[in-house]
Amino acid sequence: MVRSKTPLFLLAVLLAPALVGLVVFRLYPIALAVSDSFFNMLRGNQVFVGLDNYVALFTDSAFWKSLQVTLWFNLLINPIQIALALGLALLYVQKFKGVAFYRVLFLIPIGVSLPTAVIIWRIMLSPDGLANGVLNIAGVPGQPWLTSESLALYSIIAIATWKGISYWMIFIIGGLQNISPEIYDAARVDGIKPWQRLVFITVPLLRPTLLFVLVADVSINFLLFAPIFMLTQGGPADSTNVLMYEAFKSGFIFGDMGRAMAIIVVVVVILLLIVGLQFRLLAGKPEGK
């Protein structure tokens, strides 16, 4: 660090806008969610009710169903997205004539924002849409992608995955470029097969990057909202009613902000638990150190 005295006034000017922004618009809202969750706020009320909102939540089968949907959704989508993003990143970093063209195409879904992707996919998955048209070639009958209780959640997984994996691919590319090529050269000399190279060299060395991606991916998918709002509104039969949508419904459709905030608190707590667990499980020191 610089030996000369830190100019405090300058430091304050430089830091204040970002810090005020992060405190007022990130940390304070979380504190507010916690405090509001102790109030009954129906019909403009503001009566302190202690843990009543939480008690009501945990004795409500709709909440449990929503929690179950959210956890199942995340259990599927995060490993799928990361495995595909890793595969795509491995393709992206290959070097051969003409690869630059594909690289550009691999990046395209990043530019398509999620709400836009949702609209395009909604029409693709409509009864007369492209998806059923392609199935038709193979003689498979059309599927009710978004209106069937058994398919809707998986359709949303497909849409979010199409949209998301290029983004995660970028982070993994960063990790891949950080692995020294000499390690691979040594492996080649030792006659190690490509799949062994992936399992025993690439993945272990990528662990910090994969951990970062997993944590960030989980936190985004845990809070996924736009596709649910735009496609299914939690239906059919609550099969896509994730916690974020349940919170939105409570607060902005039924006007019960206390319940909505209690759900948000539960969501944030679960999220922090999952993130903490991931660090515990995966952040161990890499082998040989």
Between residue 138 and residue 157, which ones bind other proteins under the rule CB under 8 A?
none
Candidate residues 153, 257, 266, 274; the one interacting with other proteins per rule CB under 8 A: 257
Closer to other proteins at the Cβ: 64 or 102?
Answer: 102
Between residue 30 and residue 59, which ones bind other proteins under the rule CB under 8 A?
30, 32-33, 36
> What are 40's strand-pairing partners?
47
Candidate residues 143, 147, 148, 219; the one interacting with other proteins per rule CB under 8 A: 219
216 lies in the site for other proteins, by CB under 8 A:
yes
Could you tell me which stretch among 42-50, 59-67, 75-83, 241-249 binds other proteins (CB under 8 A)?
A: 241-249
Whether omega before 109 lies within 30 degrees of 0, making that bond cis, reads: no
Please give the angle made by the CA atoms of 202, 174 and 87, to the nearest 5 degrees.
50
Candidate residues 47, 55, 99, 273; the one interacting with other proteins per rule CB under 8 A: 99
The DSSP H or E segment spanning 40 is strand 39-40
Q: What DSSP letter does each residue of 225-253 carry, written as one string?
A: -HHIIIIITT-STTTT--HHHHHHIIIII
Give the burial string for 230-266 (b: 16+ CB within 10 Å, else e): ebbebebebbbbbbbbbbbbbbeeeebbbbbbbbbbb
252 lies in the site for other proteins, by CB under 8 A:
yes
Candidate residues 42, 62, 76, 162; the one interacting with other proteins per rule CB under 8 A: 162
Q: Tokens standing for 171?
A: 């982070």
85 lies in the site for other proteins, by CB under 8 A:
no
Closer to other proteins at the Cβ: 119 or 183?
Answer: 119
CB of 47 vs other proteins, minimal distance in Å: 16
260 lies in the site for other proteins, by CB under 8 A:
yes
124 lies in the site for other proteins, by CB under 8 A:
yes
Q: Tokens standing for 186?
A: 């040594």
281 lies in the site for other proteins, by CB under 8 A:
no
Between residue 165 and residue 184, which ones bind other proteins under the rule CB under 8 A?
166-167, 170-175, 177-178
Closer to other proteins at the Cβ: 27 or 186?
Answer: 27
Closer to other proteins at the Cβ: 153 or 244?
Answer: 244
236 lies in the site for other proteins, by CB under 8 A:
no
Residue type, 271: L
Closer to other proteins at the Cβ: 187 or 230?
Answer: 230
